[in-house]
Structure 1
Amino acid sequence: MRGGGLLVAGTTSDAGKSVVTAGICRWLVRQGVKVAPFKGQNMSLNSFVTREGAEIGRAQAMQAQAARVEPTALMNPVLLKPGSDRSSQVVLMGKPVGELSARGYHGGRQQALLGTVVECLEELRATHDAVICEGAGSPAEINLRRNDIVNMGIARAARFPVVVVGDIDRGGVFAQFFGTTALLAPEDQALVAGYLVNKFRGDVTLLEPGLDMLYDLTGRRTFGVLPYAHGLGIDEEDGLRVSLRGAVRESVVAPPVGEDVLRVAVCAVPLMSNFTDVDALAAEPGVVVRFVDRPEELVDADLVVVPGTRGTVKALAWLRERGLADALLRRAADGRPVLGICGGFQVLGEHIEDDVESRAGHVDGLGLLPVRVRFAPEKTLARPAGEALGERVEGYEIHHGVADVRGGEPFLDGCRVGAVWGTHWHGSLESDGFRRAFLREVAAAAGRRFVPAPDTSFGALREEQLDRLGDLVEEHADTDALLKLIESGAPSGLPFIAPGAPGAPA
């Protein structure tokens, strides 16, 4: 099968492309297939650092885990990290290469990257039996098709078959499937092999007449109907999604081990990045995690987390405008726990010198930690390891800010003053022993009779969820047909069902 592949496209953003790609990867690797994930271009503020020091989307790192392979820059050669509604930092092969406006990127720069994207895909194909590609948004974004390097552009370059995923929970899935296909140029339509229905609730026999009618209209089959699955704590791109034990905006699912639950409030700062840091907290029995944007929502919180952000100065201004900054100052004065991670750590310091990200120059921080931050043009990308609270800790760093720590008690690469902690390390709470030690400190400072579960393994829970995704594909999709697509490509003779998209390349 060497070099086979498939593109998982979607009718919309958040249709389920990331999780379906991960599910197919896990199903394939359980069949003994050496598989790799791939996304030519990703737009996300949730990123990860590979062992070679490359920054890629967290979704591709998660898919690599599903495939049981080490994530590399080849799996996500282009990453766009939005800094505003109109511009993004461009990360190429894991390293930042500059800021571009949306017009500048889509106006020509994007097409220039197609060669790099195809080379990365071909390198993966040469070393794996199969490569499962994830698309972005919708392949029917006809205004962007000419310079597309992630949907039909890459499918056509690689001659990969395409399966289109639709979220039936939103409604209108048949119109989405038909319209998506009909808007494509003939050469693109020839690669669209069929469809996957995602997030179905109810009796599938009631859906089957519609699937038959869809086949009559398009000449393309539906390869499966995946049921709605609750509690999938899987890294996606930018939506606030469910945690490993339940929705992050809902009450705790697993009962506490001790007498009390522990309430965690996460400040939903602008351009929030790597909010997946709190997934490990939500995985703990008896921990309730919610995202907040009002000061009154901090009143009953035992721990407040100020997360990472792509706009530290903007986040600081937002905290002040909302009254959350004053609420954080009151918490610190009362000895109530606060944790700042990456940009959140920088916000808690004395001042920031930023001539790189916001170009705001000198900005006063909240002054809760004896730290001064200077933004450097070079981005720090690292996979640190060390000890804190008597436990082994691993994490990863993604930041332009360089912290000058001038006091306090050492805490990872940052510091602690009273019940206020700060660090640049993302992912540290996934280290089980450290997480439990940290939560014990938080519970003591908050006066809660909360006891961390002695046997919660975040890594094991993540593996269970990836296996659930593999099970969904194995049990509810036509895996024989999918395997044939991966090995042999799209069937020949698929009908053309409507005029192609205006201006699409022939």
Structure 2
Amino acid sequence: MARAIMLQGTSSHVGKSILTTALCRIFKQDGQRVTPFKAQNMALNSYVTKTGGEMGRAQVAQAEAAGLDPAVEMNPVLLKPTGNACSQVIVMGKSVGNMSAKEYHSGYSLTALGVVTECIEKLHNDFDVIVIEGAGSPAEVNLKANDIVNMRVAKLAAAPVLLIADIDRGGALASVVGTLELLEPDERDLVKGIIINKFRGDINLLKPALDFLETKTGKPVVGVIPHLDRLGIDDEDSVSLEDKGQPAKNGDLDIAVLRLPKISNFTDFDAIAGETDVRLRYVRQGEAIGKPDLIILPGSKNTTEDLLYLRNNGYEQELIKLVKSGTPVVGICGGYQMLGREVQDPDHTESDLDKVMGLGLIDSITVFVADKVTHQVTAAADNHKFLGINFSGGNLTGYEIHMGRTQFLSPVDHAFSITTRSGEQVNMPDGAVSADGLVMGTYMHGIFDNDAYRRAVLDALRVRKGLAPLGVVKDTQALKNAAYDRLAKVVRQNMNMDLVYRILNEATGS
């Protein structure tokens, strides 16, 4: 029977995900069979497991830190906002349809509790330690009756709770005291410690506040974690994207990602941003695209509405003008669909619109259907013509998450050939490259995580700019593993792990 510990927050975005990742790595380093768990996640940044199930990206990073393949049991319920207080509901990796916030919270959420309970029981049997992440705050009194992610889960898993506050945003002491005050007495008893996160400055100046907090609440401060920048670990959602701001570095290559309102899977570009010769920036509403070396149209949870955003804000005209003058464009998933002549949604799977005219940069149309495609894939490129790089290679990896089916109105050069889908051998074309080699679309999320391919594209951009190719291929996975170790080291140095183990053991009487 596993021991469990839960991280809850005084609000959203206080650092629950990253500290869960840190504890997963620490317990793994200490020889424990550890797994992450989050009963319900709300995120557009999702991932597809080996079995074709969809789950939140934060639990993927936590699984990696724990040395595990991601599995939907780690995140049985995923909500993907589609707009207008509505979300697509994913249960055990598969969509069960779109629901309004009212429909979900007042009716459906508790029906998913049985699935959550089954997952907790399975993880209890398969692991030594479960590190559980909460969502938002446990003191959201308007949501507590139907909550399946905070205190109800702590009770189901017999998990003591560590309460996290973000001191960087101010009001950390008040948020801790206020949260505890709003909890029921039995819930307050489950809170066994407090973590102050994102601290900047001299810890000695903070000590009087920590002493006050312990006296006022009767709860020990388990750790004060410093503010950590540029961890190199996948972020959970677009709320994290806001923190990225404009890039701090200069680079030989200027790459612009259009920041769509319903952007999804923005971690597709983290490996590019990590290259030393790249300045990757997100173009927000009202900002000009400028004259970048490459434009990227990212994935979208609502392709039709994001197409209208481009049109209504002048980006469509600006983008087409740049392509005509020689600027290359890549579209991934929803961005790929936008590159075609038309996007059709006859069954209104994404929006109330029957169809929307596309950008017309690829001779295709996309039709949305109710059945979602979710697969991990491997692919090959044979004389890949984007930017004229003639890249050839197999064993490219990525994943598909899309409800649209793209049809071509004339013959095209495909970007890739998919060789496996969810482990099954296939031979399927993917994406398209325009005749001039300037426009590429693909359904493969994660294509730029392939180190050799990413460098081939970047070096082609360098040559176009009159720069020498670097030819240096980074090992993204090794860098990610080093980032998990670096995170674990910092958290271990600033958290009382002896106390954490004592809290963990006391909960099970061991």
Do the two structures share a fold, i.e. TM-score over 0.5?
Answer: yes
1:265 and 1:292 in contact (8 A); partners too: yes
Query: Which AA in structure 1 matches 2:412?
Result: G
**Whole-angstrom distance in 1 between the partners of 2:462 and 2:308:** 30
Q: For residues 98 and 247 of structure 1, do their structure 2 counterparts lie closer, same or farther at Cα, with a shift above 3 Å needed?
A: closer
1:338 aligns with 2:338: no
Query: Which AA in structure 1 matches 2:269?
Result: V
Q: For residues 50 and 33 of structure 1, do their structure 2 counterparts lie closer, same or farther at Cα, with a shift above 3 Å needed?
A: same
1:231 and 1:247 in contact (8 A); partners too: no
Q: How does 1:418-497 map to 2 (within 5 A)?
A: 418-445=437-464, 447-449=465-467, 451-452=469-470, 454-489=472-507
Q: Which runs of 5+ in 2 are unaligned?
A: 382-390, 417-429
**Whole-angstrom distance in 1 between the partners of 2:16 and 2:87:** 22
What TM-score, normalized by structure 2, do the two folds share? Answer: 0.91
Matched position secondary structure for 2:109: helix
2:196 and 2:224 in contact (8 A); partners too: yes
Deviation at 1:252, TM superposition (A): 2.2
Name which of structure 1's ranges 54-63 and 391-400 shifts more when overlaid on structure 2: 391-400
1:391 and 1:433 in contact (8 A); partners too: no
397, 405, 416: which one pairs with 2:433?
Answer: 416
Q: How does 1:100-249 map to 2 (within 5 A)?
A: 100-239=99-238, 241=240, 247=244, 249=246
2:340 and 2:366 in contact (8 A); partners too: yes
318, 341, 353: which one pairs with 2:344?
Answer: 353
Q: How does 1:278-317 map to 2 (within 5 A)?
A: 278-293=269-284, 297-317=288-308
Deviation at 1:369, TM superposition (A): 0.8
Name which of structure 1's ranges 357-366 and 336-345 shifts more when overlaid on structure 2: 357-366
Q: How does 1:70-81 map to 2 (within 5 A)?
A: 70-81=69-80
Name which of structure 1's ranges 131-140 and 461-470 shifts more when overlaid on structure 2: 461-470
Deviations 1:160-193 (A, max 9, x none): 1000111111111111111111100011111011
1:373 aligns with 2:366: yes
1:387 aligns with 2:390: no
Deviations 1:224-253 (A, max 9, x none): 01111121132232235479xx94622327
Name which of structure 1's ranges 292-301 and 145-154 shifts more when overlaid on structure 2: 292-301
2:56 and 2:75 in contact (8 A); partners too: yes
Q: How does 1:248-259 map to 2 (within 5 A)?
A: 249-252=246-249
The equivalent of 1:498 in structure 2 is none
Matched position secondary structure for 2:238: coil
Matched position secondary structure for 2:183: coil
Q: For residues 240 and 87 of structure 1, do their structure 2 counterparts lie closer, same or farther at Cα, with a shift above 3 Å needed?
A: closer
Deviations 1:400-421 (A, max 9, x none): 0111234332112101112111
Deviation at 1:71, TM superposition (A): 0.7
**Whole-angstrom distance in 2 between the partners of 1:360 and 1:442:** 37
**Whole-angstrom distance in 1 between the partners of 2:341 and 2:459:** 28
Q: Which runs of 5+ in 1 are unaligned?
A: 492-506
**Whole-angstrom distance in 1 between the partners of 2:224 and 2:439:** 48
Q: How does 1:8-19 map to 2 (within 5 A)?
A: 8-19=7-18
Deviation at 1:314, TM superposition (A): 0.3
The equivalent of 2:39 in structure 1 is 40
Matched position secondary structure for 1:113: helix
**Whole-angstrom distance in 2 between the partners of 1:128 and 1:180:** 31
> Identity over the aligned pairs, expressed in percent?
41
Q: For residues 45 and 247 of structure 1, do their structure 2 counterparts lie closer, same or farther at Cα, with a shift above 3 Å needed?
A: closer
Deviation at 1:300, TM superposition (A): 2.2
Matched position secondary structure for 1:190: helix
State the Cα RMSD in Å: 1.8
**Whole-angstrom distance in 1 between the partners of 2:135 and 2:121:** 19
Deviation at 1:299, TM superposition (A): 2.2
Matched position secondary structure for 1:381: strand
1:407 and 1:415 in contact (8 A); partners too: no
What TM-score, normalized by structure 1, do the two folds share? Answer: 0.92
Q: Number of residue pairs matched? A: 481
Deviations 1:139-171 (A, max 9, x none): 111111111110111001222100011111111
**Whole-angstrom distance in 2 between the partners of 1:296 and 1:52:** 40
**Whole-angstrom distance in 2 between the partners of 1:448 and 1:397:** 35
The equivalent of 2:98 in structure 1 is 99
Deviations 1:255-280 (A, max 9, x none): x6xxxx10011101111100111101
**Whole-angstrom distance in 2 between the partners of 1:297 and 1:453:** 31
2:375 and 2:401 in contact (8 A); partners too: yes
Deviation at 1:488, TM superposition (A): 2.4
Deviations 1:353-391 (A, max 9, x none): 113211422321111012211111100001111122213
Query: Which AA in structure 2 matches 1:384?
Result: V
Deviations 1:301-355 (A, max 9, x none): 1111110010100010000111110111112212211110100000011111113
Matched position secondary structure for 1:285: coil
1:241 and 1:248 in contact (8 A); partners too: no
2:194 and 2:222 in contact (8 A); partners too: yes
**Whole-angstrom distance in 2 between the partners of 1:450 and 1:10:** 48
The equivalent of 1:399 in structure 2 is 402
Deviations 1:71-118 (A, max 9, x none): 101000000000014110000000000111101111021111112101
Matched position secondary structure for 2:216: helix
Matched position secondary structure for 1:178: helix
